[in-house]
Structure 1
Amino acid sequence: MLKTIDPLLNGALLGHLADMGHGDVLAIVDRNFPAASTARRLVTLSGVDVTTAARAILTVFPVDTFVEPALLRMGPVGDEGTVLEVHADLQAAVDEAEGRAVASAPLERFEFYRRAAGAYLVVATTEARPYGCFLLVKGVV
């Protein structure tokens, strides 16, 4: 146990987050995402939705201020511009953690898969809401 560190942040996750550099990409994905076959590095957080996982991660993870958008979301197939509840919840968590409005944008499903395959780390959650998949660009401290 570590003082003031969210208990969701296990040793493997903290190590990967610490190893990431400015501009590296973090994917936080739902239970339907093919994380095991896509990820270069994978950490699984069972029993956790994407918003809860992001809130914990964002206590130690700075979001980039040089790249816009620094937050990307998987959009619904054929209607990528629609902002779903899961998207709004994650956006609110990121904005709150950063103390600013963080620019975000949708990605088409297969473009999201392509970019997630290049992410430094994939954090798989058990988020049940569809299209609960996000990419965050790491900033500087």
Structure 2
Amino acid sequence: MLKGIPKILSPQLLKVLCEMGHSDRIVISDGNFPAESMGKDAIVIRCDGHNVPELLEAILEVFPLDTYTEKPVTLMEKVPGDTVETPIWDTYREIVKKYDARGEAVVGNLERFAFYEAAKTAYAIIATGESALYANIMLQKGVI
């Protein structure tokens, strides 16, 4: 056990967060995301019993967001015409505001298939049991 480290951050996840360098990206995916096929060149970490907001909060306690890019937090856009509601995005924005002085301005969107392509280049993908739709989020690491 370590002091000051959120308990939800497993040793494997902490190791990955430490290994990541400036501008590396990590995806926290919902339960529908094809983490294993997208993560063929990434480290895939299974966190099936957890939801994205609790992991996002814990990660941002120790993970600096990139200050050299305008939008170091990326959400997957809804497919045009899809009527799914995305209240989880508001939750993400509130969490990000707690950990980055730029607030929700650091949150951007990426078209669904462009998000998939970006995810293929991520350093790691965290596969969660999140049941909300369009709940995938990508973080770009900054410096301390």
Q: The TM-score by the shorter chain falls in which range? A: over 0.9
Q: Which amino acid aligns with 1:37?
A: S
Q: Which amino acid aligns with 2:78?
A: P
Matches within 5 A, 1:1-141: 1-39=1-39, 40-78=42-80, 84-101=86-103, 102-141=105-144
Deviation at 1:27, TM superposition (A): 0.7
Per-residue CA shift, 1:70-127, capped at 9, x if unaligned? 11100111159x9821111112111112243142221111111100010011111111
**Structure 2: stretches of 5+ with no match in the other structure:** none
Distance 2:53 2:140 in 1: 16
DSSP-derived class of the 2:142 partner: coil
Paired AA for residue 112 in structure 2: R
TM-score (norm 1): 0.92
Deviations 1:28-70 (A, max 9, x none): 1100000011111111112211110100111110001110111
Which stretches in structure 1 are left out of the alignment for 5+ residues?
A: none
- AA partner of residue 6 (structure 1): P
Match of 2:65, SS state, is: coil
What amino acid does structure 2 have at the position aligned with 1:43?
I
TM-score, L = length of structure 2: 0.91
CA distance in 2 between partners of 1:21 and 1:79 (Å): 37
CA distance in 2, matches of 1:65, 1:111: 22
Count of matched residue pairs:
140
User: Percent of pairs identical after alignment?
Assistant: 36
AA matched with 2:73: L
